[in-house]
Amino acid sequence: MRSKTVRVLLLAICCMLVFGGIIASALIPYSTYTYSVNGRRQISPDAYVPLTVISSSSIKKGLEEGKNEMATQLYGENWADISNLSDVCVDKLGYVYLVDKDTNRIICLDEKYNLRLIISTFTNHMGVPDSFSSPTGVYVSDTEILVADTEKMRIVIFDKVGNFKLIVPEPSSDIFPETCIYKPIAVTTNSAGTIYVVSSAVNYGVISLNRDGSFNAFIGPQKVTYSTWQLIRRWFMTEKQIKAQPRFVSVEYNNITIDDDGFLYVTTAAIAEATQQSAINNKDKSDKYAPVKKLNPSGKDVMMRNGFYPPSGEVSVSSRASSNYSMFGASTIVDVALGPNGMWSIIDKKRSKTFTYDNNGNLLFAFGDKGDQIGLNQNLVALAYQGTNLLLADSTSNVVTVYKRTAYGDLLAAALQNTEDQNYSEAVKYYISILQHNNNYDAAYVGIAESLYRDSNFVDSMSYYKYAYDTAGFSKAYAEYRKAWVEDWILVVPAVVIVFFLAWSIFLKYAKKQNIKNRVYKEKRTIKEELLFAFHLILHPFDGYWDLKHEKRGGVRGATIILLTTILVFIYQAVGRGYLYNQYGLSVDYFDQILAVVVPLFLWVTANWCLTTLFDGEGTFKDIYI
């Protein structure tokens, strides 16, 4: 009876584990994945899962009844309604700021997503009542709220409690060509107070302004891109026609943020899709045609792109899983956000997906999809980090979905943080834990290899680079290993080289002596004499070929031994290739190696014999073969 009870309990536990896993996976409506070195999608554990949704109704429910009435009095009957969400921002206190473009409001929430205040109308510096007109972007510093007031072509600045401070007006029109109109859609600022603006109709880069609106410079103009048809047309256009074409200019940026060191992260969705996708597969062009860049104060792109593919969103852009043609093609990148532990993310508006990278440009994970379930989005327009949480704004459903980092995501973050802190032995432990959750995660192998490399353990580092098929990393580790090996054998290596050349010199003298001795005509030669004569033939071809035929200094046996030796060398060359020349451990077809030597030789001998026959030569097929 007791044994039966135990069996029933064990069966119940197994069922709970199995069905619990099925139910848990069903609650996450998207898959999380990375890309392997050869561009294959690899499913990984979820790094972020949906936690809650910020919506009009959730904001309203978050207030007590008395505060709801107060909000209605302050902001009107429809104060909680969001009609066109265009941006989201989070400050260092965890407060959330939403931009509602159609109702011209900035909705400010606390760290628990309860209403703090709404900025809609204000009294400007002239003492006149004022309001926004289609604001698109917001940025919050430690002390200020900066709003990109798009249609009124200005930046409006408030303090953290919503009190108006100043307006940064449109810069002088002299700096813009006639075709460019100043329409700020994104804004940020550094610790010195310099304001950086992205304008939707300005394609000369990021606009740097002083707080009084005076212009400083354009920063980091994007590389000019042309479609194939534009290039063909350009061949037949005059210089005047080319100058008159506004499309032949740099593409504009669409969003911006700044890190603590003053580096600007900018995104663009205006690069030709074919060009962008080509740059993903060709790292030499990835910095010129990148949809996301990291600009230093002088405007130079300093982003690290050391991953298998540069940070550009989707790698496999023609997924068969989607029957929707609009989902094909390169990613449409519309925003970038900086997270903790060196993580940073971009969003692909086309697919409603989020791609997260580390400081070296390695893809940590990608997740998301289009849909109307919780966790899916229909039209992503913005994202922001709130501590370890990730907030994604959807302009179709007008909600912000809050995603919580999982235990697997915590492992990734801990590994990155320890690597950044140079605690390489600890970082290796976390990467090993990551591989226990996801053994297909090539970036973890690279992470372990990098940590071991920095710890001067080059042999083990090369092994882990092999697992990830990272030839560049392997070369780097192998160079250091080779350098250390040479230093250890610094006296032995030249000694071996000297001994080899001495032995070779002695052998050549011996071969010369034997060849002189064997100059006399013989009807039959030994194999030794035939092989030694080859060294005379190499250095004295005119005399050698005469002696080969008329004094019978060579023979079929010696020639065949040389041929077999050549075949063995070709086989060894194929079998003994180093990792860098055979990353995937491909097997060798011995028959192919034999044919690679025998077939060219047979064709060459046959062709020479044919020519000899045509021109009444004396060489026989046997002579030519020898």
pLDDT of residue 478: 93
**pLDDT band at residue 33 using 50, 70 and 90 as cut-offs:** very high
* Pairwise CA distance, residues 130 & 153, whole Å: 14
pLDDT at residue number 323: 43
Please state, in angstroms and rounded to a whole number, the distance separating the CA atoms of residues 85 and 392. Answer: 11
Q: Is the pLDDT assigned to residue 34 strictly greater than 60?
A: yes
Lowest mean pLDDT among 169-178, 382-391, 588-597: 169-178
In 11-143, DSSP assigns E strands to: 32-35, 41-44, 48-54, 85-90, 96-100, 105-109, 115-119, 121-123, 129-131, 135-140
Phi–psi pair at 169, nearest 5 degrees = -75, 175
What is the token pair recorded at 422? Answer: 């140079």
Examine the pLDDT at 120 and tell me if it is beyond 80.
yes
Burial of residue 197 (number of CB atoms within 10 Å: 0-12, 13-18, 19+): buried
Structure token pair of residue 148: 């990109």
Average pLDDT over residues 560-576: 91
Give the tokens for residue 189: 């600022």
- What is the number of other CB atoms lying within 10 angstroms of the CB of residue 419? 24
Long-range contacts made by residues 402-405, C-beta under 8 angstroms, separation at least 24?
402/50, 402/51, 402/52, 402/53, 402/54, 402/113, 403/48, 403/49, 403/50, 403/51, 403/375, 404/48, 404/49, 404/50, 404/51, 405/47, 405/48
User: Residue 544 pLDDT > 80, yes or no?
Assistant: yes
φ, ψ for residue 517, nearest 5 deg:
-65, -35
Domain boundaries, the chain: 427-488
**For residue range 382-414, what is the model confidence (pLDDT) as tens digits?**
999 999 999 999 999 999 999 999 999 999 999
When pLDDT is cut at 50, 70 and 90, the band that residue 25 belongs to is very low
- For residues 563 and 568, give the distance between their C-alpha atoms in angstroms, rounded to a whole number: 9
pLDDT tens for residues 200-236? 878 889 999 999 999 999 998 876 655 566 667 767 7
Least confident residue range of 290-304, 350-364, 547-561: 547-561
Question: What average pLDDT does the chain have?
Answer: 86
User: What pLDDT is attached to residue 325?
Assistant: 47
Q: For residue 226, what pLDDT is reported?
A: 57
Output the pLDDT for position 65.
Answer: 57
For the cut 90, the answer to whether the pLDDT of residue 380 exceeds it is yes
CA distances from 43 to 38, 437, 446, 526, 565 (A): 15, 11, 18, 67, 49
Maximum CA extent, the chain? 122
| CA distance linking residue 59 with residue 615, whole number of Å | 99
More confident residue, 543 or 239: 543
In DSSP terms, 475 is beta-bridged to: none
**Band (70; pLDDT cuts 50, 70, 90):** low
Please say if the pLDDT value at position 249 is more than 70.
Answer: no
Report the distance separating Cα 344 and Cα 384, nearest Å.
Answer: 10
Structure tokens at 287: 């910095």
pLDDT for position 21: 42
| Position 114 pLDDT exceeds 50 | yes
Mean predicted confidence (pLDDT) in 103-124: 92
How many CB atoms sit inside 10 A of residue 591's CB?
A: 8
Strand order across the 32-35 sheet: 41-44, 32-35, 363-368, 353-357, 344-348, 333-338
pLDDT score, position 167: 96
Average pLDDT, integer, range 74-82:
72
User: How many angstroms separate the CA atoms of 324 and 364, rounded?
Assistant: 27
Give Cβ neighbours of residue 106 (< 8 Å, ≥ 6 apart). Answer: 97, 98, 99, 100, 118, 119, 120, 132, 135, 138, 145, 147
Cα dihedral value 137, 140, 146, 151, nearest 10: 10
Q: Which residue has the higher pLDDT, 328 or 318?
A: 328
230, two tokens: 């534009």
Mean pLDDT to the nearest integer, 325-349: 89
Q: Decide: helix, strand or coil at residue 139.
A: strand
- What tokens does 419 get? 């690597």
Q: Residue 618: its pLDDT value, please?
A: 76
> Which among 389, 160, 140 is positioned nearest to 258, based on CA atoms?
140
Give CA separation, 274 vs 227, 247, 269, 337, 453, in Å: 8, 17, 12, 25, 37
Residue 8: pLDDT band (50, 70, 90) is low
Cα angle 87-339-160, degrees, rounded to a multiple of 5: 50
pLDDT recorded at residue 237 = 74
**20 — pLDDT class (breaks 50, 70, 90):** very low
- Sorting pLDDT into bands at 50, 70 and 90, what band is 282? confident
Mean of pLDDT values over 20-30: 58
Cβ 336 vs Cβ 344: under 8 Å: yes
- In this prediction, what percent of the chain has a pLDDT beyond 70? 87
Residue 245, pLDDT score: 58
Q: State the Cα–Cα distance between residues 592 and 571, nearest whole angstrom.
A: 9
Residue 384 and residue 413: Cα distance in Å, rounded? 17
Confidence of residue 566 (pLDDT cuts 50, 70, 90): very high
pLDDT at 250: 54
Cβ burial of 558 (10 Å; 0-12, 13-18, 19+) is buried
Q: At what angle do helices 442-454 and 471-488 cross, to 10 degrees?
A: 30
Q: Residue-wise over 53-72: b if at least 16 C-beta within 10 A, else e?
A: bbbbebbeebeeeeebeebe
The stretches of 28-84 forming alpha helices (DSSP H) are 56-61, 65-75
Confidence of residue 547 (pLDDT cuts 50, 70, 90): confident
Q: What count of other Cβ atoms lies within 10 Å of the Cβ of residue 240?
A: 7
In one-letter notation, the amino acid at residue 158 is: F
> 243 pLDDT exceeds 70?
no
